[in-house]
Amino acid sequence: MRRSAVEVTYTDAIVRDAVRTFVWRRGVAGQKGLWAAEAVLIALLIWLPLRGEQGWLLGVVSVIALLPPCLIIAMWVAHHRNTVGKFRRMPSRRADFTFLDDGLVVASELGSTKIPWAGVTEIWERPAYWMIFTAPNQFMTLPVETVSADDRDFLRSKVPVVAAQKI
């Protein structure tokens, strides 16, 4: 049974960038249809007053046009509070990752968990860290500075890897 453990250290920059990357990829870049509809709504907001409309239709379109940006802000606030909040509660800013044949064990002062490989849905690779997803909107951050190339290859072999876009 493979068993490889590594201690990682989190930084404020890594944690904040993980939130920014998540919001950008899931909320902005991953929602092309939503943003196309937003562009149509903005065009409608410009066109309606030019046509002389100042009634309830303009108000409804205005409210609907505000929803996508508000959703992005809500997504950022929720993930920032969760991710940065956990980081700030960690006295040592360190965690231990153990890579096993049947899963991944993560332990810190805040607690520990074992995640089977079937529970890991994807990994986004960033230069200083990886984002390991267990659900579409649930991830953990793995700083990779102390993770060996063998352990990185092992992780890649267990789950699909999606390269993160440079932002």
Instruction: For residues 51 and 72, state if they share a domain.
Output: yes
Residue 93 has pLDDT above 70, yes or no: yes
Instruction: For residues 99 and 144, state if they share a domain.
Output: yes
Of the three residues 87, 121, 136, the one that is the final residue of a domain is 87
Residue 147 has pLDDT above 80, yes or no: yes
Segments forming the whole domain that contains residue 105: 3-10+92-163
* CATH code of residue 147: 2.30.29
Domain count along the chain: 2
Q: What is the pLDDT of residue 160?
A: 66
Of the three residues 87, 122, 150, the one that is the final residue of a domain is 87
Instruction: For residues 24 and 65, state if they share a domain.
Output: yes
H and E: helices and strands count for the chain? 4, 8
Q: What is the pLDDT of residue 30?
A: 81
Instruction: For residues 80 and 103, state if they share a domain.
Output: no
Instruction: For residues 75 and 98, state if they share a domain.
Output: no
Q: Dump pLDDT digits (tens) for 36-61.
A: 888 898 998 888 888 888 888 888 88
pTM of the model: 0.81
